């Protein structure tokens, strides 16, 4: 066999190897999820029981449990050798519940505020290094406004983003601010010192503004939504064109937005 033929054979084999590797990874993920479902159904189970349920060798079940245990998703009762769902599952479930709760509880609040001010109202939550809009209501004046639902928007150039960023723990906030701050318009704040000063004002006054910082012609104000423990878990914003939301009208709009955010915070258990 020539060198060229050997190289061709290796090239043809590579996709198959990659495919088998990807298939194995997917199978492992599927089995790991199945382990969690088994423990959710049974309450607790030993390695042998889990292996029988999965129809795999005990060593495979043991490896899966080891990975899940390292991640805190399962825990082991040492005296009985049984495994059960760990605190990590509660952490993940709690994060999902917060999003569901704030979205559900926010529906009447957002609709009332949208009807009152006539503009687009959104609820945003933090998603890694961005704000993602999970709820939207439109007022009478915003019938042709763009849809923000599901969109990830930059923290430093939006009113919701400033609220979420400003209320993060200092170390996490500074870490996010140390990343490049892209410029979207001439008004976008791209300097760390300037943004830090802006966030201090946001926390002190209880609301944020964004005037043509993400898009020309777009203005917005936002206020924080708190959970029962006082932690900021989201932001309510009102946005619209600058010819309606100019510097004369934004302060009053910010107060209305803050009042709506306080209402939603009460619904989330804050203040009780």
pLDDT on residue 5? 44
Tokens 């206020």 found at: 223
pLDDT band at 10 (very low <50, low <70, confident <90, very high): very low
Digit-coded pLDDT (tens) for 68-103 = 988 888 888 776 789 888 877 766 665 555 565 788
Q: Pick 100 or 229 by higher pLDDT.
A: 229
pLDDT on residue 77? 79
pLDDT on residue 24? 73
pLDDT band at 17 (very low <50, low <70, confident <90, very high): very low
Indicate the average pLDDT of the chain.
85
What does the pLDDT average to over 232-247? 93
pLDDT on residue 263? 93
Residue 98 half-sphere exposure toward CB, CA atoms < 13 A: 20
Q: Pick 224 or 134 by higher pLDDT.
A: 224
Question: What strands lie across the sheet with 208-211, from one edge to the other?
Answer: 152-154, 130-138, 120-127, 232-241, 218-226, 208-211
Contact 132, 193 (CB under 8 A): no
Digit-coded pLDDT (tens) for 163-205 = 999 999 999 999 999 999 999 999 999 999 999 999 999 999 9
pLDDT band at 2 (very low <50, low <70, confident <90, very high): very low
Digit-coded pLDDT (tens) for 94-143 = 555 556 578 888 889 999 999 999 999 999 999 888 999 988 998 887 65
**How far apart are the C-alpha atoms of 169 and 16, rounded to whole Å?**
47
pLDDT on residue 95? 59
pLDDT on residue 146? 63
Q: Pick 94 or 37 by higher pLDDT.
A: 37
Spatial CA neighbour of 146 closest among 244, 199, 218: 218
Distance spanning both ends of the chain, measured CA to CA: 80
- CA distances to 164, 166, 203 from 195, rounded to whole Å, are 13, 10, 12
What does the pLDDT average to over 37-57? 89
pLDDT at 46 over 60: yes
pLDDT at 42 over 90: no
DSSP helix, strand, coil percent of the chain (3-state; round to 5): 55, 20, 30
pLDDT at 271 over 50: yes
pLDDT band at 28 (very low <50, low <70, confident <90, very high): confident
Tokens 């609709």 found at: 111
pLDDT on residue 217? 93
């Amino acid at each position: 066999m020539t060198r060229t033929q050997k190289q061709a054979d290796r090239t043809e084999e590579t996709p198959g190897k990659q495919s088998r590797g990807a298939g194995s990874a997917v199978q492992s993920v599927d089995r790991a999820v199945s382990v969690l479902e088994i423990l959710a159904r049974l309450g607790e189970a030993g390695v042998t029981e889990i292996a029988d349920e999965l129809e795999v060798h005990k060593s495979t079940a043991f490896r899966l449990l080891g990975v899940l245990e390292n991640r805190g998703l399962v825990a082991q009762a040492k005296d009985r050798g049984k495994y059960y769902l760990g605190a990590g599952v509660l952490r993940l479930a709690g994060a999902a519940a917060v999003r569901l709760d704030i979205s559900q509880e926010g529906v009447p609040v957002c609709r009332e505020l949208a009807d009152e001010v006539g503009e687009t109202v959104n609820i945003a939550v933090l998603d890694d290094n961005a704000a993602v809009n999970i709820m939207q209501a439109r007022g009478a004046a915003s019938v042709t406004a763009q849809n923000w639902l599901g969109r990830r928007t930059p923290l430093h150039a939006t009113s919701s983003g400033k609220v979420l960023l400003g209320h993060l723990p200092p170390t996490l906030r500074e870490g996010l601010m140390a990343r490049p701050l892209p410029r979207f318009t001439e008004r976008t704040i791209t300097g760390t010192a300037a943004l830090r000063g802006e966030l201090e004002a946001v926390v002190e006054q209880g609301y944020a503004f964004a005037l043509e910082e993400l898009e020309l012609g777009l203005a917005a104000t936002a206020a924080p939504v708190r959970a029962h423990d006082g932690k900021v878990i989201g932001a309510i914003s009102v946005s619209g064109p600058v010819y309606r939301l100019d510097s004369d009208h934004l302060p009053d709009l910010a107060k209305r937005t803050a009042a709506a955010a306080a209402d939603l915070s009460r619904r989330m258990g804050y203040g009780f």
